[in-house]
Amino acid sequence: MAQYLLIESRDPFESNDVHYYYDLAKGLAEAGNQVTLFLAQNGVLSARPCMHSTSLSALSKSGVTVLADDFSLKERGIAKLAEGIAAAPIDVVVDHLAAGNKVLWH
């Protein structure tokens, strides 16, 4: 079992690729890997309760840890997060890198 950190920096309202990335997270988790999806920059826009957050809440229920960068949230005035999503510091990225996990940026 591998450990993955998938960083999503894109806004799903702007890029359809984002849902493919969510699908990648789901597929990796279903294959038995430990997966964290870290939303950053405009990627946090889907952390608000909205049409795209339902996908993230579903990911959370399927075993993917879904985190949203606290700085990006604050920049955008987002305080309320959808179910299954937690705010986290950028330190998470360094933690995963230092642990030797597979870290991908989109």
Nearest approach in angstroms of CB 69 to another protein is 8
Q: Return contacts of 74-80, CB within 8 angstroms, 24+ apart.
A: 76/44, 76/45, 78/44, 78/45, 78/47, 78/48, 80/48, 80/49
User: How many angstroms separate the CA atoms of 99 and 106, rounded?
Assistant: 20
Q: Which is nearer to another protein, 30 or 91 (CB)?
A: 91
**Best CA proximity match to 66, nearest among 4, 1, 14, 2:** 4
Q: Which is nearer to another protein, 41 or 60 (CB)?
A: 41
Name the site residues for another protein (rule: CB under 8 A).
9-10, 40-42, 69, 71, 90-91, 93-94, 97-98, 100-101, 103, 105
Q: Which is nearer to another protein, 36 or 42 (CB)?
A: 42
Nearest approach in angstroms of CB 29 to another protein is 21
Nearest approach in angstroms of CB 21 to another protein is 13
